[in-house]
Copies of this chain bind each other. A is one copy, B any other.
Amino acid sequence: MKAELISVGTELLLGNIVNTNAAFLSRELAALGITVQRQSTVGDNTARLAEWVQSAKQRADLLIFTGGLGPTADDLTKETVAACYGDTLHFDAAEWQKIEAYFARTGRIPTENNRKQAMVPTNGRKIENRHGTAPGAWFTDGEKQAILMPGVPQEMQAMWCESIRPALEKSRPETLVSTTLRVVGGESAIETAIAPLLENENPTAAIYCKTGECEIRITARAANEAEGKAMCAAYAEKFRDILGDDVYDVDVPGPAWTLIRILHEKNLTVAAAESCTGGLVAAELTEVPGASDVFGFGYVTYWPQAKAKLLGVAPAVIEQYNVVSGQVAAQMALGAKEASGASLAVGITGLAGPGGGDAERPVGTVYVGVAKGDTVWVKHLRLAPTSRQEIRLRAAHSAIDLLRRAALGLPMPAQSLSAAEARSAAWAEKEE
């Protein structure tokens, strides 16, 4: 089945709003096995809209509209689409009562304009809106269908999840089940490794890359949910065989969520000492509800005297090795672990730019130290000098990944030192 998304609203054409509806609906439709061929945004102009609907109706089996269902004169999606699908609208007393009740709750009286919102399809069907005054509409003309929803994202998403997605699912003979693997690392290296697995008929798999990590979404079509889950799990194993420990979790919002869960499970605690990331690691960890069970102390030590006072990094070590060095990262991690009493700690020092780099330490040079028990690991990151914020985010995510590996006892892609070596700073960085 081929679909097109049509967003209606001059406010979108003026750029006053970012269109998040298109991305939401595209992902949802892809998960249903419906191909979105085109997304478009048009203004509140009847003639242009009618012309556009007619041509899109030729191209696609299903048109999904958002916006233009409001009470004002320029809200004309419903009338226009009805005409294109050979339908008309009629006044619905029950919808009108809902509108009056909705206004009454906020101490207002609906105007004559609001009666427009109580108009519903004559041959098609109305779609209930439990979160606002504008009902949706579903028109059918032979094999061609059009679905109209409000433009407000919360109302649209609720209507989609409560009414439309279930109806579309019911009309399919199969059940769709999805799972999302989350993978540490950059796009091109991963994509090359797994390219053959992305060419499968069922389950399908797709890769989406973000800053410093990728998502692999596996979707199975199956006779029932249990079978679909088993198919997804089996296919996920093929990715794990190739990507190993880089697959850090399944169906979570991000790496901090995984780390917090692992620390919970292992009854461990963590502390963070941050220089170039300036609190990003702490902020990501504390975004996870329940983080306070495993995270108590964060140190943002931007100045050398903060590193000395809070973490015990000796000024002489900074003097000798540079503040951006493995020696300092190791002492930051160790100092944070000891000062906080946490089981694990991370220390991060680097150059996020834009200024301050030189040939030896270009912008994007970051050292991450992780301390656990009597061991300290140090990783030298050479990040591309993209932007200050991206360097900081990549460094934070690398730090969270090293903490995950250390918490799980996985092999560490980093130089390993004893706490005594880290404390003395008398060690040399190994060439990688």
A→B interface (CB under 8 Å): 11-20, 22-30, 36-43, 48, 52, 105-107, 154, 206, 208, 272, 274, 276-283, 285-287, 289, 291-292, 295-303, 305-306, 310, 340, 353-355, 382, 384-389, 392
Contacts and interface: CB of A to CB of B under 8 A. Distances in A.
A26 B15 contact: yes
26 contacts: A12-B23, A13-B38, A15-B22, A15-B23, A15-B25, A15-B36, A16-B23, A16-B208, A17-B23, A37-B43, A38-B52, A39-B41, A105-B384, A274-B298, A278-B283, A278-B287, A279-B298, A280-B283, A282-B282, A287-B388, A287-B389, A287-B392, A289-B354, A298-B300, A298-B301, A298-B302
Nearest to A52: B38
Given A154-B387, A289-B388, A389-B287, A208 B306 contact: no
A217 to B, nearest CB: 9
A420 to B, nearest CB: 25
A274 B26 CA distance: 39
A44 to B, nearest CB: 12
Count copies of this chain in the complex.
2
A399 to B, nearest CB: 13
Instruction: Give the residue among A279, A292, A355 with the most B Cβ atoms within 10 A.
Output: A279
A222 to B, nearest CB: 21
Task: Give the 3 A-B residue pairs with the shortest CB-CB distance, closest first.
Answer: A278-B286, A298-B300, A15-B26
Contacts of A14: 26-27, 30, 36, 206, 208
Contacts of A392: 283, 286-287
B16 A36 contact: no
A55 to B, nearest CB: 8
Contacts of A43: 37-38
Nearest to A292: B302
B289 A278 contact: no
B40 A12 contact: no
B297 A303 contact: yes
B306 A302 contact: no
Contacts of A281: 279
B306 A340 contact: yes
Contacts of A280: 279, 283
Given A38-B42, A296-B302, A19 B16 contact: no
